Amino acid sequence: MLRSILVAAGLALALAAPAQADRLLIQRAQASESATLPARGQTMTQVESKFGAPQQKLEPRGGQSSAWPVIHRWVYPEFTVYFERERVVDAVLNRAAPEEVGPVPATRG
């Protein structure tokens, strides 16, 4: 009897976890639609002028060949901006919590 209760409780928890993650991902997607992020094509100067200095300017990546341009990453509290040369190519919202499903904040290195 106790074993079947524990199995049922474990099953209930296992099924509840994906629903929680799905809800967080949906909430993040809705937040990204209304978030003010740097626009594609803006320059580094324009981004810094509008959003202020980033918390971190991570080491550039790429540039090994002409097919791989240098990518710069600037981390702000709510989002990370990706630049190719001096222009924004993308900006994404960071995770709000470790259990949230979605883009992770950029890491050093």
What would the pLDDT profile of 20-72 be if each residue is shown by its tens digit? Answer: 555 555 666 666 566 799 999 999 999 999 999 999 999 999 989 888 899 99
0.75 cut: is pTM over it? Answer: no
Q: Which domain holds residue 47?
A: 2-93
Does the residue 86 lie in any domain?
yes
Q: What is the pLDDT of residue 67?
A: 87
The verdict on residue 100 lying in a domain is: no
The verdict on residue 104 lying in a domain is: no
Q: Say what the pLDDT of residue 104 is.
A: 60
pLDDT band at 7 (very low <50, low <70, confident <90, very high): very low
The dihedral over CA atoms of 41, 89, 56, 33, expressed in degrees to the nearest 10, equals 90
**Per-residue model confidence (pLDDT) at position 96:** 66
The reply to whether 102 falls in a domain is: no
Q: What are phi and psi of 31, to 5 degrees?
A: -65, -35
The verdict on residue 98 lying in a domain is no
**DSSP conformational letter for 65:** B
For residue 82, tell me if it sits in a domain: yes
Q: Count of domains in the chain? A: 1
Pairing of strands 79-84, 71-75: antiparallel
